[in-house]
Amino acid sequence: MMKRLSFNRILLLFIISLFSFSCSSDLDFNQANDLKLEPIFVANLAYFEIPAHEFVTNGIEHNLTVGSPTVDVFNDAFFKKHLTRADLSFEIDNTINRGHTLDIILQDRNNQPLYTISFNIPAYTGVANSITKTEIFENGNLDLLKSTTKMTFVLKMLAGPPLSENSIGSFKLRSGVTAYLIVQ
């Protein structure tokens, strides 16, 4: 004996049959050739803090040179191919009552200088003494950055009140890099 279908079952069959049909269009797989990604990477580059008393050894003032570990991220094949711009950002805080000059020297694998970034840092006078600077590398300068494997920081004291092993304050540097890439 045949069972009679209820309205609910007929409706359910109708809905199922609607979903069993689909529409499609031709897929264009060549669109993948037009794919263009523009990622931006931000990373810390270097950091150090030098207390005032480290500028004095056995009562004699001296300048300091701070070397960084190998900076070969720009030599990576992926970065060399896709890097279009890099911004090196620096923030310097000086709480020592002496002015300084700072040269950041970018060097190649043979320790040859490629590029120098210079700062004049005034002496601390009791108020915030923060210097910021961004160095932008693109076009020809970018090629210099891609050849950089080392950064050296040369810190020289300017004339001013003498420092001793008991002098207070410090010289602090923070830096980072923002790298702009295009991947096609």
Cβ 129 vs Cβ 94: under 8 Å: yes
Reference 122, options 167, 169, 165; nearest CA is 169
Predicted local confidence at residue 36, as pLDDT: 79
Residue 69 or 156, more confident: 156
Residue where the block lists tokens 């601390």: 124
- As a whole number of angstroms, the distance between CA 123 and CA 55 comes to 14
Provide mean pLDDT across the span 25-54: 81
* Sign of CA pseudo-dihedral 107, 108, 111, 114: negative
- As a whole number of angstroms, the distance between CA 174 and CA 153 comes to 12
Band of residue 1 on the pLDDT scale cut at 50, 70, 90: very low
Residues 6+ apart with CB under 8 A from 141: 115
To the nearest 10°, report the CA torsion of 159, 165, 167, 173: 80
Predicted local confidence at residue 173, as pLDDT: 95
Band of residue 103 on the pLDDT scale cut at 50, 70, 90: very high
Burial class (CB in 10 A: 0-12, 13-18, 19+), 98: buried
Provide mean pLDDT across the span 118-124: 95
Residue 145 or 72, more confident: 145
